[in-house]
Amino acid sequence: MTQPELQFVQCPDANGGHRMAYWSWGDAAAPHVVLCAHGLSRQGRDFDVLARALCARADGQIRVVCPDVVGRGKSDWLKDPMGYQIPAYAGDMLVLLAQLQPATLDWVGTSMGGLIGMVMCGQPGLPLPVPVRRLVLNDVGPSINWQAIVRIGSYLGKAGCFDSLEQAAAAMLAISAGFGPHTQEQWLELSRHMVKPVEDTASVNGAVTLHYDPAIAVPVRAMTQEMAAQGEVAVWRLYDNIRAQTLLLRGADSDLLSVETATLMTQRGAKAHLVEFAGIGHAPTLIAGDQVECVTRFLLDL
């Protein structure tokens, strides 16, 4: 399967509901589902390389599902921007999983997607079809460096307008040094799904803008350092409840997940197995061969 199938699920909210898009790879009837949740300003096609590898190694006997979290990609935008927060995202994932009904469930979460995963695995009483068996946390933990939040807030929500995909890719590269080295072809492919055509007919033909609702920045900019510290206590509580076998990935140069937090995550709660990638910051894109192999072997018992 070289391309995924785009599907949708209807999710409730206080303003009449919204559609969440998701990209489905592999066998739609497979009982083993791997759900891949992306980072704050990203979208589900970030996992194309990993999804193809999982499907190939599992000989097609797997389904890899990669949602566009609401406000991103092909999903609807919310009327109330304060809905762009982790608890609401987790609610949407419960609706999706109720539709998928997996018999075996694994979770791969990059940054924000990892925080959603910690809610799904660490909040007792959630109506999951089955408990998450294996959890991959990609460069995220309960304690997030405040300066990284400030850095992300400095560019989040500035969708911009670009004359071409190539121009947009160059602009994204300038703020994505932490993703590590990529070939020009790899970066262009990553960027392709990060933009959409500008609908304004007065714009230059071929002009593009970033895929997400700029209002996803509203809750981030409303956050204070005190609020972040209070949230950290709650997320550690979630982490300590996790019973899924957990793999923690860290970019060795990450400014979001500190060495101290990563080490503590190996000692308490899920007692994650930690793997670091040299020359990478926040966050590994799961495109490089060693990153893909690490996750694939963990999820497929290879």
CATH of the domain at 24: 3.40.50.1820
Query: Is 153 domain-assigned?
Result: no
Query: Is 248 domain-assigned?
Result: yes
d(CA 82, CA 88): 10
Query: Is 62 domain-assigned?
Result: yes
Q: In total, how many domains does the chain have? A: 1
Q: pTM score, two decimals? A: 0.96
Q: Give the contacts of 32 (CB within 8 A, at least 6 positions apart).
A: 58, 61, 62, 63, 102, 103, 104, 106
Query: Is 29 domain-assigned?
Result: yes
Query: Is 180 domain-assigned?
Result: no
Q: Could you read off the pLDDT tens digit of each residue along the chain, which spans 302 residues?
A: 689 999 999 999 999 999 999 999 999 999 999 999 999 999 999 999 999 999 999 988 999 999 999 999 999 999 999 999 999 999 999 999 999 999 999 999 999 999 999 999 999 999 999 999 999 999 999 999 999 898 888 888 887 889 999 999 999 998 888 899 999 999 999 999 999 998 765 556 779 999 999 999 999 999 999 999 999 999 999 999 999 999 999 999 999 999 999 999 999 999 999 999 999 999 999 999 999 999 999 999 87
Query: Is 285 domain-assigned?
Result: yes
Residue 248's domain comprises: 5-145+222-300
